[in-house]
Amino acid sequence: MYRQTLELIEQEKIIVILRGIPREKLLPLVSAMYEGGIRLVELTYDACGNIPDEEIADRISFLAKHFAGKMMFGAGTVLKKSQIAQTKAAGGHFIISPDTNPDIITETKKEGLVSIPGALTPSEATLAHRCGADFVKLFPLTQLGVGYLKTICAPLSHISFLAVGGVRIGNILDYLHSGACGVGVGITSEQKEALEQNDYHYIEESFRELVNKIRV
């Protein structure tokens, strides 16, 4: 599945980041996302430990089984080797971290999962790539924006970057046209409000609009 995961990320270009979503909301939320065209989802581990790693892994397992053959799931905020093993056992296919940790990259590749560490500087991005990262998550781009992405991609065009932080429907094409091979997007404030009101139709349509934006 390693090769299929790489190809799906390259093809779909959008990974949706789910952080702190109540368990009872996960299935209807992800179902709406699927209907809207999303095929890749990251569930983040809780760095503070308020939600046990076992619970996050269980949620990945639940979704991976329910959407088998339709979507791929991975883990985010992976800071420990044990989380890699838990993610793989749960049926996850990719590992995303906020930082560049050679040990995490090496262990991810050893387990046959797609490695997506986070980096911001050219030195971090180059180190991640040398350690075997499949993609490098350029993060956080919220304040730095498209200009920084374009600047760093010029000398590092051999690295496959995913832009994360501040990516939204109004600028997603700017990031993709400036060197990113894909993006990571979170749930917007409007989508969070719709989730609270169980308005899954809005969520489906908003993701469909995002997906259609890059299909044009």
pLDDT tens digits, one per residue of 20-51: 999 999 999 999 999 999 999 999 999 999 99
Cβ atoms of residues 27 and 59 within 8 Å = no
Q: Give the up-direction half-sphere exposure of residue 11: CA atoms within 13 A in the CB hemisphere.
A: 12
Q: Which ranges constitute the DSSP H helices of 142-186?
A: 145-153, 172-177
User: pLDDT band for position 200 (50/70/90)?
Assistant: very high
Tokens of 186: 């979170």
Distance (Å, rounded) from C-alpha 149 to C-alpha 205?
Answer: 29
Read off the pLDDT of each residue in 152-171 and give the average, rounded to a whole number: 96
pLDDT, the chain, mean: 97
Instruction: Band the pLDDT of 101: cuts 50, 70, 90.
Output: very high
Report the predicted TM-score, pTM, of the whole model to 2 decimal places.
0.97
113, two tokens: 């999962």
User: Taking residues 160-171, what's their average pLDDT?
Assistant: 96
Type of residue numbered 214:
I
pLDDT of amino acid 73: 98
CB atoms near residue 54 (< 10 Å) = 10
Q: Is 161 helix (H, G, I), strand (E, B) or coil?
A: strand
Strand ranges across the sheet with 40-44: 114-116, 94-96, 72-76, 40-44, 14-18, 182-185, 161-164, 136-138, 118-119
- Give pLDDT, residue 216: 66
Q: Which residues pair with 25 in a beta bridge?
A: none
CB 7, CB 39: distance < 8 Å: no
Domains of the chain: 2-215 (3.20.20.70)
